[in-house]
Amino acid sequence: MTKKTKLSDGVPAPKKLALYTLALNALQIAKLGEICAENSAFEQTQTAYTHFSYKSKAHAVTVAAYTSGKVVISGKGTEEFVANILEPQVTGVARLGYDEVHNPEWFETHAGLDESGKGDLFGPVVSACVIAGKSAVEKWLAAGVKDSKQVASDKKIFELEKIIRDTPGVIVKTAFARIEKYNTLYQKFGNLNAFLGHLHFLALKEALAEAEETGSEIPAWGLLDQFSKSPIVQRNLTRNGIDFDLKMRTKAEIDPVVAAASVVARAAYVREIEKISELAGTRLPKGSGAEAKKAATEIFRKFGAARFGEFVKLHFKTASEAALP
């Protein structure tokens, strides 16, 4: 006999959706196709009698838009795709209404934390903390706020950041050191996770202080996208006498407040990249692959070892390779 998952009041939770069908008009179908095409997690597939079909292993979902106007969403990730992408970005109508059943904690006032730039050779690492409650979350879900890694362009990142920052009652804080200071501080902390934990602690501490100073609702808990097995940030909180329950888990960006922090952190990181690109006299790429290594090599030749740390994270292996003769 299969054991049913139950809600806290003892009522069996509804079975998670794995197949969803609806009719869309031509404009909505075109918008859905654009969203899938711009998301690198989706791969186009061939399905008969469709305008398009896409499959995403990362999201465990398949999307097929038939020439009849019928759209079929299937797979384990159906419910998340419908609630986080299809409804807010395409139809503008919430049909499932499962968010507050499956994820009631999303709508509680809480803090969300995420970072940007950790894997990028150029520029700093940015931590962002956002404190928000139900009304903000509902607005952000409708506006399509999501994990920054799923946002197709910097322009869209800035659009979403403005929505987040302009939402009444929301507190937003960031913590980072510009790249030259980053390299000095990294040596002090000895490893990236310890440094990142310190940045998350600073952003959260400032956000909680602002909530108290402004008379806003002070959250009892927060959620951080897991970046280490050790609870580094929670230890920093305890060490500084801050009584706060900071939860940590992988893929935390599904929580809309953490997703908002992800967007804010990425926007701040992109602005920093734009500044040091101006200093370098050339557009500096994101990431740490071949393109970044090539750009770093040119930066080293142009500015020399003394100024190399004004652009790159010196502890990256790619930075060392770029500086080789």
Higher pLDDT, 142 or 62: 62
Task: Please report which confidence band the pLDDT of residue 188 belongs to, taking 50, 70 and 90 as the band edges.
Answer: very high
d(CA 162, CA 273): 19
Question: 148, 264 in Cβ contact below 8 A?
Answer: no
Q: Residue 52 carries which side chain, given as an amino acid letter?
A: F
Q: For the residues 249-271, what does the mean pLDDT come to?
A: 95
Higher pLDDT, 89 or 285: 285
Report the candidate in 320, 282, 316 with the shortest Cα–Cα distance to residue 119.
316
How do residues 98-120 score in pLDDT, each as one tens digit?
A: 555 567 899 999 999 999 999 99
Residue 144 has what pLDDT?
84
Q: Residue 58 carries which side chain, given as an amino acid letter?
A: A
pLDDT averaged over every residue in the chain: 89
DSSP 6: B
d(CA 76, CA 230): 30
d(CA 80, CA 87): 10
pLDDT at 307 over 60: yes
Q: For the residues 66-89, what does the mean pLDDT come to?
A: 90
Residue 168 has what pLDDT?
94
Task: Please report which confidence band the pLDDT of residue 94 belongs to, taking 50, 70 and 90 as the band edges.
Answer: low
Which string of DSSP letters, residue by residue, matches 33-52?
HHHHHH-TT-EEE--TTEEE
Question: 122, 295 in Cβ contact below 8 A?
Answer: yes
Residue with tokens 């080293």: 300
pLDDT at 4 over 80: no
Residue 23 has what pLDDT?
86
Residue 93 has what pLDDT?
59
pLDDT at 95 over 60: no
Residue 103 has what pLDDT?
76
pLDDT at 18 over 60: yes
Task: Please report which confidence band the pLDDT of residue 229 belongs to, taking 50, 70 and 90 as the band edges.
Answer: confident
pLDDT at 194 over 80: yes
d(CA 237, CA 174): 17
Report the candidate in 282, 267, 286, 297 with the shortest Cα–Cα distance to residue 122.
286
Residue with tokens 């398009």: 52
Question: 185, 175 in Cβ contact below 8 A?
Answer: no
Residue 11 has what pLDDT?
38
For residue 59, how far is the Cα from the chain centroid? Answer: 15
d(CA 291, CA 296): 9
User: Cα dist. 226→77, 175, 231, 279 in Å?
Assistant: 21, 17, 9, 33
How do residues 215-227 score in pLDDT, each as one tens digit?
A: 999 999 999 988 8
pLDDT at 8 over 90: no
Question: 53, 65 in Cβ contact below 8 A?
Answer: yes
Q: For the residues 242-246, what does the mean pLDDT come to?
A: 94
Question: 211, 218 in Cβ contact below 8 A?
Answer: yes
Task: Please report which confidence band the pLDDT of residue 311 belongs to, taking 50, 70 and 90 as the band edges.
Answer: very high
Q: For the residues 256-283, what does the mean pLDDT come to?
A: 96
Task: Please report which confidence band the pLDDT of residue 97 belongs to, taking 50, 70 and 90 as the band edges.
Answer: low
Higher pLDDT, 228 or 66: 66
Report the candidate in 206, 147, 213, 220 with the shortest Cα–Cα distance to residue 174.
206
DSSP 122: B
**Burial group, residue 301, by CB count within 10 angstroms (0-12, 13-18, 19+):** exposed
Higher pLDDT, 174 or 7: 174
Task: Please report which confidence band the pLDDT of residue 5 belongs to, taking 50, 70 and 90 as the band edges.
Answer: very low
pLDDT at 146 over 80: yes
Task: Please report which confidence band the pLDDT of residue 17 belongs to, taking 50, 70 and 90 as the band edges.
Answer: confident
